[in-house]
């Protein structure tokens, strides 16, 4: 079962993936395409990720490991055959008929990659790997989005991440539990009711660009990673969805690496508040992201200009106070937006997680009456936190290493079940 109608409802079950051998195998030539700023020290990244997972468990949230789901999925020969067939364009010719014999072998191959046997000393990715690893798979937000009781699949922007989308499709097609999840939209499948030739402008849609703001409102970013072709097809799919959202807010982000996804510039933190980067979300300068609204119940799905995102959703009954990442200092705002100060995973209304390196953001939350505590203090029993009426609380996560991969708590996780907002 999956159920998500907001970004802030009490979190019951969440999908994550511990950075594994795929991170240890990452080499510098991969960084640009993967949008990493450095190669990670895997042991330290795993330690920080492990503390994050343990915090969720201590607070009563069921943590689901994506690798476990994929292993259970690939236990079925039909699932292995389907995934291998979908991967054929990425496979060397001599591997195309060599389907791994069991789930463990296939999991290791499709996530960790395959090293070459060539000892010729090449340094490029193709010299080192017959099949490249998937270091970005720890960012479970991106390959799919759970909306209501169904799933929207992503169309990953770069070839280095295409396989992540296939893994999500395999899980939600063949897994013993999740295989029955209704598919709301798959942007890589042609719409039979709408003639369109993709050509060079194929659909691109990544989960970090999609925020489920309420049962009535979904926001979608047009960014470096998601494009208009995908957003148009998503709007048509949502318009056909019984009981789905009414409003689609299309946010045109400035084309800068710093704003790779919508959730890098705004994420909800409470029923009436969101962490955000002001110059893009509500500023008056040239970096303001203009928002266009689609009435999903209207006859015409043409997006209509509606100003900035906060103004657009306010008209639809969702009034969010903006909490600026970095506080009121424009230098700190820009520095901490870069280190995911606007990227929070809400565990319940008003209970959020944040990387501890975003000191100015934490200070701003404290100034506004939030209780700011180190996650380590919860793990060691020095502090207590409840997800049921805890008051405004920010839990600071160890982040010296994992933050170098350019993704915050929202990026690292994907809610499978949340309570409806009240």
394 is catalytic: no
- Report the alpha-carbon angle 154-280-402, nearest 5: 55
Tokens representing residue 348 in the block: 């319940």
Distance of CA 195 to CAs 70, 146, 191, 192, 419, Å? 34, 27, 7, 7, 38
Q: CA–CA separation, 225 vs 221, rounded Å? A: 9
Q: CA–CA separation, 115 vs 322, rounded Å? A: 47
Other beta carbons within 10 Å of 401: 19
Q: CA–CA separation, 404 vs 26, rounded Å? A: 13
SS (H, E, C) the chain: CCEECCCCCCEEEEEECCCCHHHHCCCHHHHHHHCCCCCCCHHHHHHHHHHHHHHHHHCCCEEEEHHHHHHHHHCCHHHHHHHHHHCHHHCCHHHCCCCCCCHHHHHHHHHHCEECCCCCCCCCHHHHEEECCCHHHHCCCCCEEEEECEEEECECCCHHHHHHHHHHHHHHHHCCCHHHCCEEECCCCCCCCCCCCCCCCCCCECHHHEEECCCCEEEEEECCCCCHHHHHHHHHHHHCCCCCCCEEEEEECCCCHHHCCHHHCEEEEECCEEEECHHHHCCCCCCCCEEEEEECCCCCCCCEECCCHHHHHHCCCCCCEEEECCCCCHHHHHHHHHCCCCCCEEEECCEEEEECCCHHHHHHHHHCCCEEEEHHHHHCCCCCCCCCCCCCEEEEECCCCHHHHCCCHHHHCEEEEECCCC
Other beta carbons within 10 Å of 281: 25
Q: CA–CA separation, 347 vs 56, rounded Å? A: 8
The catalytically annotated residue of 308, 325, 394, 411 is 411
Active site residues: 411
């Amino acid at each position: 079962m999956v159920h998500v109608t907001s970004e802030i409802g009490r979190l019951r079950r969440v999908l994550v993936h511990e950075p594994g051998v795929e991170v240890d195998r990452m080499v510098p030539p991969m960084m640009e395409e993967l949008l990493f700023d450095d190669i990670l020290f895997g042991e330290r990244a795993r330690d920080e990720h492990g503390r994050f997972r343990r915090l969720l468990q201590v607070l009563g949230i069921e943590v689901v490991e994506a690798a476990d789901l994929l292993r259970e999925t690939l236990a079925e020969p039909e699932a292995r055959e389907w995934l291998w067939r979908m991967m054929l364009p990425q496979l060397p010719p001599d591997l195309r008929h060599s389907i791994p014999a069991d789930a463990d072998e296939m999991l290791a191959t499709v996530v960790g990659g395959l090293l070459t046997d060539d000892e010729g000393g090449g340094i490029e990715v193709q010299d080192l790997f017959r099949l490249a690893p998937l270091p970005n798979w720890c960012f479970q937000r991106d390959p799919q989005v759970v909306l209501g009781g169904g799933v929207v699949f992503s169309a990953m922007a770069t070839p280095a991440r295409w396989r992540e989308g296939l893994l999500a499709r395999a899980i939600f097609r063949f897994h013993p539990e999740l295989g029955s999840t209704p598919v709301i939209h798959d942007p890589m499948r042609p719409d039979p009711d709408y003639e369109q030739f993709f050509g060079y402008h194929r659909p691109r849609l990544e989960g970090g660009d999609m925020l489920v703001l309420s049962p009535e409102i979904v926001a979608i970013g047009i960014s470096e990673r998601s494009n208009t072709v995908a957003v148009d097809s998503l709007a048509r799919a949502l318009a056909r969805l019984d009981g789905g959202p009414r409003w689609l807010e299309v946010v045109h982000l400035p084309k800068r690496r710093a704003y790779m996804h919508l959730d890098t510039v705004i994420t909800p933190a409470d029923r009436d508040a969101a962490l955000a980067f002001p110059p893009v979300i509500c500023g008056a300068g040239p970096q303001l992201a203009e928002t266009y609204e689609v009435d999903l119940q209207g006859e015409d799905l043409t997006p209509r200009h509606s100003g900035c995102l906060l103004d657009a959703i306010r008209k639809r009954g969702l009034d969010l106070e903006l909490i600026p990442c970095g506080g009121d200092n424009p230098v700190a705002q820009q520095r901490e937006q870069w280190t995911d100060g606007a990227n929070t995973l809400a565990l319940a209304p008003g209970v959020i997680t944040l990387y501890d390196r975003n000191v100015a953001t934490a200070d701003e939350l404290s100034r506004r009456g939030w209780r700011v505590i180190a996650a380590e203090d919860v793990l060691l029993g020095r502090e207590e936190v409840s997800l049921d009426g805890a008051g405004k609380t920010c839990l600071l996560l160890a982040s010296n290493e994992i933050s170098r991969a350019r993704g915050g708590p929202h990026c690292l996780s994907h809610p499978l079940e949340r309570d409806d907002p009240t």
